[in-house]
């Protein structure tokens, strides 16, 4: 049996059946073949065959991978420069001027700095000399805000968010924010963001409309009504007829017109609904669902089921409220379904947003999720009147997203998935982590802080990370 498995495994890796059989006959297993060198194999096979085996099965990939990686990095650097230059292509004269001037002076200014600077300058007339002075000042301020290498940004960030966090009220103010829609705020909301919950306790969307119709209240209302879930009971009277064991549905004409649906559509939806086990018949102004005679419990079930039937709207969106924000109608929703909203006509895909980073991650990807975390956290803190430097929040968002997916901070996320055994053991359930590590023979590179504290070494940050060396003073030039 084992022989057969070996042969199959070898064939799957691209070997001839003949060679595979030969190897298996010698009692070799897949692992043996993989680690065997060409010389080992020539004992059983011809030179050429051994070469083939080593190429196809052997552990040859390491060297090639390294080469590839190096090449990739080079390309990436070039690409980055390209992207950097591309970003300036569309910018107007001022930005270009600033960029050239700052480069000639050897300043390193990021794209966003230059862009914002040029936007600020555009309204004023500035002479050449003033340009230079201005750039010098900006450069100095930029350098002042730079952080030393080896600085413990994580700890500083954690404290800078944690301390204002203690000041946040435990009370949640519902009804704060938008009109009638309450959004979780304060500490509970902060915890929610950092935990990367699947669904926040109050999911909500901000639906913006396309340029042409954003000032049109009627169109906004129409879109809002298409978003909202409408159930049958809201637009129709559902009556029960025990004598004939049937359910009669009489839709309200006014409501139907308002919601823009006709009776045929309702009948279709009822037909599709799985819970309804009767025969759906359309009459002139009503719909009849007849159930098997004598089965009264089924009849009552049918009534309840049909009442709850979704006639229109998006899954999860309970309510939509229209609000005018700077000459523009925006729909705020209770409940969230970003994916379907973006597919709708008349919706501005670029501006429409939900308050759930997880949903944004699923629909738009990690980078968008990162931005969403920053936005939500900043908004929550701002709402409470707490000022936290945006870079602390950005760091949190980076930590949560740097693996390409959304990770929560805490046991199930970042802390529980650290590469270092000792760091994980220091966090929670120490003995289990250590036992597991011992069984698996895990290795700890002692790269992090917690590990080095446990071992009793200087940590790898700040002063502890600096390596000093002797310089011969007589050889110094300056």
Among residues 112, 144, 297, 326, the one that binds another protein under rule CB under 8 A = 144
| Close Cβ partners of 331 (under 8 Å, ≥ 6 residues apart) | 205, 206, 207, 209, 220, 223, 224, 227, 320, 321, 322, 323
Note whether 108 binds another protein by CB under 8 A: no
Taking alpha carbons only, the member of 188, 180, 159 closest to residue 383 is 188
Name which of 141 and 255 has its Cβ closer to another protein: 141
State the nearest-atom distance from the C-beta of 145 to another protein, in Å: 9
The number of residues that bind another protein (CB under 8 A) is 18
What string of DSSP letters covers 161-188?
Answer: HHHHHHHS-SS--TT-SSTT-----HHH
Among 67, 69, 70, 467, binds another protein (CB under 8 A): 467
User: Closest CB to another protein among 170 and 470?
Assistant: 470
- DSSP characters for 263-305? HHHHHHHHHH-TT--SEEEE-SS-EEEE--TT-HHHHHHHHHH
Shorter beta-carbon distance to another protein: residue 124 or 469:
469
Interface segment toward another protein; rule CB under 8 A; list 111-119, 372-380, 392-400, 463-471:
463-471
- In the complex, least distance from residue 460 CB atom to another protein, rounded to whole angstroms: 12
Closer Cβ to another protein, 104 or 474, answer by number: 474
> Quick one: 325 or 465, whose CB is closer to another protein?
465
Please give the helix or strand (H or E) that residue 453 lies within, else none.
helix 449-455
Give the SS3 label for residue 418: coil
Q: Smallest gap, in angstroms, from Cβ of residue 155 to another protein?
A: 14
Q: Does 472 bind another protein (CB under 8 A)?
A: yes
Decide: helix, strand or coil at residue 353: strand
Q: Does 146 bind another protein (CB under 8 A)?
A: yes
**Secondary structure of residue 346 in the 3-state scheme:** coil
Residue choice 127, 166, 297, 463 for contact with another protein (CB under 8 A): 463
Contacting range for another protein; rule: CB under 8 A; set: 125-133, 325-333, 366-374, 464-472: 464-472
Degrees to nearest 5, angle at CA 298 with 310 and 259: 20
Residue 473 binds another protein (CB under 8 A): yes
Q: Is 477 in the site for another protein (CB under 8 A)?
A: no
Question: 147-176: which residues touch another protein (CB under 8 A)?
Answer: 148-151
Alpha-carbon distance of 403 to 340, in angstroms, equals 27
- CB nearer to another protein: pick between 346 and 462: 462
Nearer to another protein among residue 47 and residue 151 (C-beta): 151
Which residues partner with 239 through β-bridges? 248
Contact at 8 Å (CB) between 267 and 287? yes
Nearer to another protein, 67 or 146 (CB): 146
Could you say which of 2, 349, 438, 466 contacts another protein (CB under 8 A)?
A: 466
51 CA to centre of own chain: 46
> What is the Cα–Cα distance from 92 to 99, expressed in whole angstroms?
11
Q: Where are the alpha helices (DSSP H) in 352-389?
A: 357-364, 366-383
The answer to whether 294 touches 219, Cβ cutoff 8 Å, is no
Residue 471 is a binding residue for another protein (CB under 8 A): yes
For the bound state, the minimum distance from the C-beta of residue 356 to another protein, rounded and expressed in Å, comes to 39
DSSP 415: G
Report how far residue 38's alpha carbon sits from residue 98's, in angstroms, rounded to the nearest whole number: 62
470 scored as a contact of another protein (CB under 8 A):
yes
Is 290 or 461 the residue whose CB approaches another protein more closely?
461
Our CB check for another protein shows the closer of 104 and 463 to be 463
Residue 465 in the binding site for another protein (CB under 8 A): yes
How far is residue 320's CA from residue 332's CA, in Å, rounded to a whole number?
6
Q: Is 462 in the site for another protein (CB under 8 A)?
A: yes
Binding site for another protein (CB under 8 A): 143-144, 146, 148-151, 462-463, 465-473
């Amino acid at each position: 049996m084992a022989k057969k498995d070996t042969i199959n495994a070898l064939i799957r890796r691209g070997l001839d059946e003949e060679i595979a059989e030969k190897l298996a006959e010698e009692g070799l297993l897949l692992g043996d073949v993989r680690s065997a060198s060409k010389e080992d194999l020539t004992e059983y096979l011809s030179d050429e065959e051994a070469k083939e085996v080593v190429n196809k099965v052997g552990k040859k990939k390491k060297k090639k991978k390294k080469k590839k990686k190096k090449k990739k990095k080079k390309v990436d650097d070039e690409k980055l420069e390209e992207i950097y230059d591309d970003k300036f292509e569309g910018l107007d004269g001022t930005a270009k001027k600033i960029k050239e001037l700052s480069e000639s002076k050897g300043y390193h200014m990021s794209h966003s700095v230059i862009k914002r600077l040029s936007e600020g300058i555009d309204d004023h007339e500035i002479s050449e000399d003033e340009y230079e002075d201005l750039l010098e000042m900006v450069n100095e301020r930029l350098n002042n805000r730079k952080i030393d290498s080896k600085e413990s940004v994580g700890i500083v960030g954690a404290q800078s968010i944690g301390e204002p966090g203690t000041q946040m009220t435990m009370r949640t103010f519902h009804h704060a924010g938008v009109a009638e829609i309450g959004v979780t705020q304060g500490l509970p909301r902060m915890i929610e963001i950092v935990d990367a919950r699947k669904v926040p306790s109050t999911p909500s969307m901000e639906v913006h409309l396309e340029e042409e119709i954003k000032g049109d209240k009627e169109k906004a209302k129409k879109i809002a009504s298409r978003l909202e879930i409408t159930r049958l009971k809201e637009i129709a009277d559902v009556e029960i007829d025990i004598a004939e064991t049937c359910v009669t549905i009489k839709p309200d004409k006014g409501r139907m017109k308002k919601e823009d649906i006709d009776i045929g559509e309702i009948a279709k939806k009822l037909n599709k609904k799985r819970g309804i086990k009767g025969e759906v018949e359309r009459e002139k102004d009503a719909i009849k669902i007849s159930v098997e005679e004598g089965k009264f419990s089924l009849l009552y079930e049918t009534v309840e089921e049909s009442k709850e039937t979704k006639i229109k709207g998006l899954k999860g969106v309970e309510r939509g409220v229209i609000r005018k924000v700077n000459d523009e109608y925006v729909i705020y929703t209770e409940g969230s379904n970003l994916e379907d909203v973006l597919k709708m006509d008349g919706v501005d895909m670029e501006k429409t947003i939900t308050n759930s980073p997880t949903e944004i991650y699923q629909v738009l990807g990690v980078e968008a999720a990162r931005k969403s975390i920053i936005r939500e956290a900043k908004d929550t803190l701002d709402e409470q009147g707490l000022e936290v430097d945006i870079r602390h929040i950005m760091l949190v968002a980076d930590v949560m997203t740097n693996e390409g997916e959304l990770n929560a901070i805490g046991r199930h996320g970042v802390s529980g998935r650290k590469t270092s055994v000792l760091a994980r053991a220091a966090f929670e359930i120490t003995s289990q982590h250590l036992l597991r590590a011992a069984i698996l023979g895990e290795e700890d590179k002692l790269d992090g802080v917690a590990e080095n504290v446990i071992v009793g070494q200087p940590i790898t940050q700040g002063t502890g990370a600096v390596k000093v060396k002797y310089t011969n003073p007589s050889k110094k030039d300056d």
